[in-house]
Amino acid sequence: MRRSYNGLKTAVLLGLLTALILVAGYGIGGSSGLIVATVLSLVMNGIAYFASDRIALRAMAAQPVSPWQAPQLHAMVRELAAEAGQPMPRLYVSRLAQPNAFATGRDPEHAAVCVTEGLLRMLSPRELRAVLAHELSHVGNRDILISSVAAALAGIVTSLANLALFLPLGSDDEDAPNPLATLLMLVLGPVAAGLIQLAISRSREYQADADGAHLSGDPLALASALEKIEYGTRSMPVAADGSLAAQAHLMIANPLAGGGMAAMFRTHPPTADRVRRLRELAGHRAGRTVTDRPMRTFDLMR
């Protein structure tokens, strides 16, 4: 029931983003603006569909790892992928010290999973397996494509708002930009698009937590991993103006610095809420952090 609700919610939110683009285009440039907005939407969605994986992996400076380089990591993912009925994804490791992970690719046949060296150092084998199950759930649910399309659509709204700065206001031409519509789109458009994008991202994270917990059979391990990752990302935040910022919505935890009002615009639900849901899923109202031996990088990379 929850899966169908999340799917409907995502479809509605994507529809709202598309409608916002068309309204923005028409409000800013009339019929011509509507055509420009439509073309931009098609082009950006094409880029998101075919190139999102390469863009994300390049931003993370991720390197592919073979079964000979990381036999245990490959064994974990292979077992989980078989359990999920999915093809084996490509595996990558980023040298980033911050603990994090993400999946990318438009469908299971073109998927890649990336983990950071910081994640390999911090998590136990049990916790790492739960994180990998979460990422494979994103792949199976086509969340990477959905998130990439949402990010592209939100970017179009922002681009149209920036374009409005260079358009003349006030004209007798019926097809000229409406000054009030232009002003509203300039101020409110990017905010609305961003909030819709974040709602999509947060909805998909909750679903991947639940599906990943089911795939691994260990909700408490994922809860423990999320707590450790939250601590690690707070200790080693990534600058919001870096190349990684555009890929933040793909990560298992928000990698960016920022608090206070910035928390409203985070791409992920609060970790405490995710942990609570996972513990309830496991049938525990109060859980404890898993104390397995932390996995050292060379355990999986030799």
For the segment 56-101, what is each residue's pLDDT rounded down to a tens digit?
A: 888 888 999 999 999 999 999 999 999 999 999 999 999 999 999 9
**135 a catalytic residue:** yes
For the segment 152-194, what is each residue's pLDDT rounded down to a tens digit?
A: 666 666 666 666 555 555 555 555 555 555 555 555 555 655 6
Based on its alpha-carbon atoms, the radius of gyration of the chain, rounded to whole angstroms, reads: 21
Residue 251 DSSP symbol: B
Task: Tell whether 110 is in a known binding site.
Answer: no
Q: Give the predicted TM-score (pTM) of the model.
A: 0.73
Whether residue 250 contacts residue 100, with contact meaning beta carbons closer than 8 Å, is answered with no
SS3 302: coil
- What is the rounded CA–CA span in Å between residue 178 and residue 220? 54
> CB count, 10 Å around CB of 170?
8
User: What b-and-e string marks burial along 18-31, b requiring 16 or more CB atoms within 10 Å of the CB?
Assistant: bebbebbbbbbbbe
| Residue 15 structural domain | 2-300
Q: Any residues with CB less than 8 A from the CB of 142 and at least 6 apart, and which?
A: 106, 107
**21: number of CA atoms within 13 Å, CB side?**
28
SS3 153: helix
Structure tokens at 279: 């513990």
Whether residue 135 contacts residue 153, with contact meaning beta carbons closer than 8 Å, is answered with no
- Give first-to-last CA distance, the chain, whole Å: 43
Confidence category of residue 258, pLDDT binned at 50, 70, 90 = low
Q: How many structural domains is the chain composed of?
A: 1
- What is the rounded CA–CA span in Å between residue 248 and residue 246? 6
Task: Tell whether 138 is in a known binding site.
Answer: yes
CA dihedral 250, 255, 259, 261 (to 10 degrees): -20
- What is the rounded CA–CA span in Å between residue 31 and residue 101? 43
Please identify which of the residues 127, 135, 227, 230 carries the catalytic annotation.
135
Task: Tell whether 249 is in a known binding site.
Answer: no
For the segment 270-298, what is each residue's pLDDT rounded down to a tens digit?
A: 999 999 999 999 985 344 444 444 444 43
For 50, 78, 92, 172, the CA distances from 41, given in Å and listed in that order, are 14, 36, 30, 29
